[in-house]
Each structure stands twice: as C-alpha cells, then as structure tokens.
Structure 1
Amino acid sequence: PGGELEAELRIMAENTLETLPKLVREFKLHAALEEVLQLVRRANKYMEQTEPWKLAKSDLASAGTALWHVLEIFRLAATLLSPVIPGKIDNLLHQLGLDQGHLQLAWGVLPAGIQTRTAEVLFPRQEYIQEISQETEQSMDKPSEQITTAPAIDSPAQASDPTQPNNPAPEPIPGVLQIGIDDFAKVQLRVAEVVEAERVPKTDKLLRLVVDLGDERRQIVAGVASWYEPEQLLGKQIVIVANLKPVKLRGVESHGMLLAAKSEGKLSVLTPMGEVATGASIS
C-alpha cells in the first residue's frame, strides 16, 4: 500500500537487494555497506517527508503505512548487515519485535501490526560513557579528603625540575590555521556523480553541475571551466562538500562545493581511486 513515496522506497530497496550480491562477489565490501547505509538514509528522509507522528493525529491508517515502510527498511538492513554485526542485529531484532526467521532477502516480510519494544541506542558515540559515569559516582561517594590528585611525571628530568610543565602543549605549526577534530567532523564530504554539466552564461570560469548523491540530486557551481569542458565531467565521480550553506554565483544557486587540487597553474578535480557507491561518505 501507499503512494509514490512508498513505491520509490520499495524500488530502492529491491535495487539494493539486486546490487549487493554482485558487490560482495567482487569483494567491494565497503561499497556494499555504503549501499545499505544509503537505503537507511532514504528511509530517514522518508520519515521526514511523511511525518507519521503528525499523521497519527488525523489519519492513523496513513501513519501506520509510513511506519511499516520504515520498519521494513530496518528489517532489510538488519538482514543485509547480520553477517557483519550479528550482535547489534540481535538487539535490533529484539527492539523490532522480530526474530531470526524474519531475516529474509525479500520485500514485504514484516508482519502488519507488529508490536515494537522500547528502543535503545545501538551505536552510542562513546560506548564507555556508562563506565565513566559509574566510576564518577563511586568517586563522589568517597569522602572529599580521600580524593587526591598526583602530578604526572613524564621523565626523571621533569621530576627534578619543578619549573618544567607536566604536559607541555604541542607547538603550533607556523602559518597554519589548525582546527580540532570536532571542527573537521562538521564537514560532510561525499562522493557524487556528475549527471549534467554546462557553462554558466557570461563567464569563462564557472560550470553548472547537477550531481547525483544517491538519495538526492543537487546543483553546484564550480570554478573549473578554465581546465575542464563540461563533457569531460559527465559521468565522473567527484568529491563535494555536501553541507555548505547555499550561495549564488553569477545568479546561479550552488548547493555544495567541488574539491580540486591546484598546483603550478594546473587543476585536477578530486575523484575516488576506485569505484564506490554514489553518495558514499568520506571520513
């Protein structure tokens, strides 16, 4: 049941089921895993589009249809990932109210009216948080006079010289703006395939590209026209910054930035060394 969105979701799921065995046979395991992640991302986008939590207030049947499709994607993802992370998949099946018998490579296996259980985080960012919390609680239970801090001593020379800092900070690199790992983690780099390319009118430097990210298509403007003809980029996989704020360049909206290397007057667009799934994340 459902409309165009549901049909699109089912087609993507069936395509994934068809594509994955070939990737596994060719030992392209990273690409295979990325295909599964793309399917999960599409289910997440479908949730945002259908908003079943709002539908439940006025159209319970439509809300049920939306939730069934999302849970069916989760079941398929669990089936595909079960050889890779069996322990996590057992937890997921339990939360979905399913068992090993539901791990089938087919669409439509999820029973209607399934009763899910209380959800738990399967992949916490720091799985040791609970251990740290327990240690903290134990420390808080101790009398304050029993809690002491010992200075860190890295070497005998440091021990004999009280003026030497215990943990000297690394020297900054001259002329380099350094960022922390948290700053870098904010940048979303993804592989995109160029499906349209043309010159931006009245400029010699800009190309308008339409790129496929697997779960969406978007337009970007790239200043590479001095080095590339539009047809040279068609069908190529490139790397883009996917979470830049949109900007207008010569009146054309750009929703991302193409990455390229430039040296001695030459420019080369960055591309993956091997074939990867369109939309793959780069880390």
Structure 2
Amino acid sequence: MGIDEPDIDPARFLDDVEMCIGEIRSVEEFPEARKDVYKLDVDFGDETLQSAAGLTMYEHEELLGRQVVAVVNLGTVQIAGFESQCLVTGVDADDGEGVVHLQPERPVENGTRVY
C-alpha cells in the first residue's frame, strides 16, 4: 500500500479544510438517493448540519449519539432534493460491505476542530 496523491502544503491544508467533531442527533432513511445513504443531523455545538452519509451498514440506533469526524466547510451539495451541508468521513469496511465512520477514541466537545 502506498500513498497515491502528491504532497501538499500542510499549512494550506489546515487553512483550507475545516474538520470538526459532531454528534449524530437523527438518522433517516433516504430512498430517493441513487446511492445507499442516510440523512443525518449532526450537532457541532453551535450549529447542526445535515449530511447524506453512506453509513447504512449501521442500524439507526447504533448511530444515534455517536460522535463523527466531518468536513464542515465544503459548502452544500444537493442530493435528490436534500441539502447535504457537511461530509461525514469514513473508510471502506474490510469486507467491502459498507462504510465505517471515523470517530474520536473518547468523547470530546461537539464542534472541536480536528487538526
């Protein structure tokens, strides 16, 4: 396994990309989407943002109250009439059957910036 992308300036990355910790407050089915995703409300402390996230390997109850790492400054994307306002980060599951969300190893304050 290697790193495929060219190096970037670390300071520019931290200036340009804002990632924060948020807590999932609601999970809804999203049958209108072309991909298998949920509609999420994610609480970042001062603000709650919506996300269309491919975390459907989890049951709703498993996600509620979990903290996630999200990119919060990408702007909005319209997905089947839904405004996705942040990108909840994840990685492909080992078995190829879904997306595993990224989370802090222990609870931190919602809205904490990732760096």
Q: Distance in 1 between matches of 2:4 and 2:89?
A: 22
Corresponding residue for residue 195 of structure 1 = 25
User: For residue 280 of structure 1, what is the amino acid of its counterpart?
Assistant: T
Flag the structure with larger Rg.
Answer: 1
Quote how far apart the aligned CAs of 1:177 are: 2.7
1:232 is paired with a residue of what secondary structure? helix
Question: Higher strand share goes to which structure?
Answer: 2
Question: Higher helix share goes to which structure?
Answer: 1
1:215 is paired with a residue of what secondary structure? coil
Corresponding residue for residue 258 of structure 1 = 88
Corresponding residue for residue 233 of structure 1 = 63
Corresponding residue for residue 177 of structure 1 = 6
User: For residue 281 of structure 1, what is the amino acid of its counterpart?
Assistant: R
Runs (5+) with no aligned partner, structure 2 = none
Quote how far apart the aligned CAs of 1:197 are: 0.7
Residue among 93, 108, 111 paired with 1:276: 108
2:106 is paired with a residue of what secondary structure? coil
Corresponding residue for residue 37 of structure 2 = 206
Q: Could you say what the CA RMSD is over the residues aligned between the two structures, in angstroms?
A: 1.9
Alignment of 1:118-133 (within 5 A): none
Runs (5+) with no aligned partner, structure 1 = 1-172
TM-score normalized with structure 1 length: 0.37
Corresponding residue for residue 49 of structure 2 = 218
RCO (CA 8 Å, sep 6+): is it higher in 1 or 2? 2
Q: Distance in 1 between matches of 2:5 and 2:48?
A: 35
- Percent identity (aligned): 32
1:261 is paired with a residue of what secondary structure? strand
Question: Number of matched residues?
Answer: 110
Quote how far apart the aligned CAs of 1:229 are: 2.3
Q: Distance in 2 between matches of 1:241 and 1:192?
A: 10
